[in-house]
Amino acid sequence: MTQISEPVIEIHDLHKSYGQLEVLKGVSLTAAKGHVISLIGSSGSGKSTLLRCANLLEDSQQGEIRFEGEPIVWRGTGLNRHPADRTQVTRIRTNLSMVFQQFNLWAHMSILQNVMEAPVTVLGRDRDEVEAAARKYLEKVGIGDKCDVYPAQLSGGQQQRAAIARALCMEPKALLFDEPTSALDPELEQEVIKVIRSLADEGRTMIIVTHDMRMAADVSDHVVFLHQGLIEEEGTPDEIFGNPKSERLKQFVSATVPA
């Protein structure tokens, strides 16, 4: 496991509501450089919402978010609170690559074009340099021979690996995964877990929302168990899965961790 280092993402006392429904009720979280954090919990516990707030895809109503020590600047309060500086949001988002449950690949583009699109059009990087990087990352995730095919010609596991290559090609400071394997059957799921495990071994900063407890136990430095919009318990994988303290976590672990 990696040693404590400078924070990449810091979240303090975050609250998020959809109208009258309060989904996050004061959550604090720090992702240090090179650390892997897994967010676990039952459906509706706030895991994906927390991830989307961290990436500024959702506006939170209260609390602080910092990226590499830089606080997000807000305007307004409560349900009217929004980031004040869109340039800041764009800059931070380009450093926090997100991999979604649904692969979100452009059907009309080849796999290589999918991976190259954002670095070229959003970051304005040199096309030849981006193509070399894109081919390298596609090779890294095990589909270097699929550059010229289209998403519909790939399996779900291959599409998700292409999505991971696309995220890596942005050269982000952190990777955010929202249920990256839940749309896949078990055999294809293992293809993606292997890639995520290799990224963890490289010391990449990652926050992973997952229902796969084995993956969470295997790749994480820190596991956070969310329940009804709050952190019920957190700790190392050994602590969370081997010695849960709260009754709710004990129930969750006994129901979800394979014997």
Q: Which two tokens stand for residue 249?
A: 């976590």
Domain-embedded: residue 100? no
- At 146-158, the pLDDT tens digits run 999 999 999 999 9
140 domain residue, yes or no: yes
Q: Which of 123, 124, 106 has the alpha carbon at shortest distance from 115?
A: 106
In a domain, 131, yes or no: yes
Regarding whether 259 and 179 lie in a shared domain, the answer is: yes
180 shares a domain with 165: no
Domain membership of residue 43 as a residue range: 1-95+175-259
- Residue 182: its pLDDT value, please? 84
What are the beta bridge partners of residue 37?
207, 222
Q: What is d(CA 144, CA 139) in angstroms, rounded to the nearest whole number?
A: 4
Q: 111-121 and 156-169 are packed helices; what angle lies between their axes, rounded to 10 degrees?
A: 20
Q: Where are the beta strands (DSSP E) in 149-256?
A: 174-178, 206-209, 222-227, 230-235
Domain count, the chain: 2
pTM: 0.93
Q: Distance (Å, rounded) from C-alpha 259 to C-alpha 255? A: 10
Same domain, 73 and 120: no
Q: What are the tens digits of pLDDT across the range 113-148? A: 999 999 999 899 999 999 999 999 999 999 999 999
Question: What is the per-residue pLDDT across 37-82, written as a single tens digit (0 to 9) for each?
Answer: 999 999 989 999 999 999 999 999 999 999 999 999 999 999 999 9
Residue 2 banded pLDDT, cuts 50, 70, 90: very low
User: Rounded to 5, what percent of the chain is helix, strand, coil?
Assistant: 40, 25, 35
Q: What is the pLDDT of residues 183-235, one digit of tens each?
A: 788 888 888 999 999 999 999 999 999 999 999 999 999 999 999 999 999 99
Phi and psi angles of residue 98, each rounded to the nearest 5 degrees, phi first: -110, 135
- Can you tell me the mean pLDDT for 9-34? 95
Pairwise pLDDT comparison (39 vs 6), residue with the higher score: 39
Of 117, 148, 171, which residue constitutes the final position of a domain? 171
